[in-house]
Structure 1
Amino acid sequence: MIRPLLIAVALSALAGCASTPSTPRSSAAVAPYRDSVDLNGRIAINYSRDGKKESLNGTFSWHQSQANTDVNLISPTGQTVAVINVTPRSATLTESGKPPRTAPDLDTLTAQTLGWTLPVSGLRDWLQGYATDSEGKRFVASPANDNVITRDGWKLEYMSWQDESAKVPQPKRIDVTRIALGQAVEDMQIRIVIYPADQ
């Protein structure tokens, strides 16, 4: 249960880890925020717990409406291993062959399942290039303004873009690092590669 949930919440919002060749930076702002988004992607998570390094990989589909977010997690062999549904009133994790697990929100669900909180409620914004910075101000990513530390202690680095020369580029690869996790997990890095749902 812990492994699929960790991938899910690292998403609920999000890898191929190949680096992208450096290209000249544009000053264009990220595409406007959308309430409804359909994306697919890959994710890699590296973390340490009790001095032991762990690594997880998988793919996902992300369906977001104004109120709800649905995430399907797919194993490297192509099987759906977990489905997460987040609404304004609850977050539910469903794994194959197991009863659904529900909590009032995603952060509470992670605390109940993992034993420690993984605050990822900002991922609806992060996948589109938006965040709330450490001072509570709205951050808008662009190829020229590509990193921020969020209010809840995550460092976001927008490493590449779907089309960096576009007037309003959309994020392609995001590297996420937890600045301070607390006692249970010593460090965590997440790499997300995003591509449109039709790919």
Structure 2
Amino acid sequence: MTRLPKTALTQTKLAVIAALIILTGCAASPERYQDNSAEQWQLKGKIGLWHGDKKESATIDWKQCSTDSMHIRLSGPLGSGAIELFADSDGASLSQNGETRRAASIESLAAQAQWPLPVDALRLWVRGRAAPQLELRSRINTRGQLEELEQAGWTIRYRYSEPDQTLPERVEAKSADTRLTLIIRDWSEQTGTCTPQ
């Protein structure tokens, strides 16, 4: 019987340990959240906005607590400091650098900030769903995933990392003069309440 040198034994042990760690990590990884019909959800990722000659980007944490209650936190290069958007059935507010603006809706606040975004439809579009009150054209891929949607003068394209995914990992929305790109790194169920910070 031939004996392996000590260094070969050590390398073999390390390889076995590394393989076990990788396999354990794979087995323990949580199942990806995939409910695109839920009214309560949270996404985290990055957002890029282009309108005319304006271009902005930020990290985004979007909590949707019901059909009319949401809390969106934008941080990073977009403007200066963090931006908090909050909306419910009573109206909407935008807070930045200690100042708060209020309006009847979150879309009104977006328009005041010179970002004409259909936020009410966007909460559905980001999950690969059409806004029910608007005319639409759509294209479904061979795996049954929504690939492209046209509504209200916007074209929305979707990318998925897995063939059985229902929630997208990338959303690109374009109108005549505005473009939005959303790269989603995490989808989860939203169980808390949406309140201004």
Query: Which interval holds the TM-score relative to the shorter structure?
Result: 0.5 to 0.7
Query: Which whole-Å CA distance do the structure 1 matches of 2:105 and 2:133 have between them?
Result: 22
Conserved? CA contact 2:140–2:148, under 8 Å: yes
Q: Percent identity?
A: 23
Query: How many residue pairs get matched?
Result: 151
2:172 equivalent among 175, 181, 189:
175
What's the CA shift for 1:121? 1.4
Maintained 8 Å contact 1:130/1:140:
no
Residue 124 (str. 1) matches residue 128 (str. 2): no
The corresponding residue for 1:38 is 42
User: For residues 133 and 68 of structure 1, what CA distance do their matches in structure 2 show?
Assistant: 18
- Measured after TM superposition, the shift of residue 148 of structure 1 is 1.4
User: TM-score, normalized by length of structure 1?
Assistant: 0.65
Label 1:57 to 1:122 Cα distance change in 2 as closer, same or farther (>3 A).
Answer: same
Q: Which structure: greater helix fraction?
A: 2
Are the structure 2 counterparts of residues 140 and 72 from structure 1 closer, same or farther at C-alpha, using a change threshold of 3 Å? farther
Task: Give how far 1:136 is off.
Answer: 2.6
Structure with greater Cα Rg: 2
1:72 corresponds to: 73
Q: Distance in 1 between matches of 2:139 and 2:105?
A: 25
TM-score of the superposed pair, with normalisation by structure 2: 0.65
| 1: CA distance, partners of 2:156 / 2:87 | 22
CA RMSD of aligned residues (A): 3.0
* Aligned equivalents of 1:165, 1:171: Cα separation in 2: 11
Name the residue aligned to 2:89: 88
Letter in 1 for 2:37: Y
Q: State the partner residue of 1:22.
A: none
With a CA cutoff of 8 Å and minimum separation of 6, indicate the structure with the bigger relative contact order. Answer: 1
Q: CA deviation at 1:68?
A: 1.1
Amino acid at match of 1:192: L
Change (3 A) 1:69 1:107: same
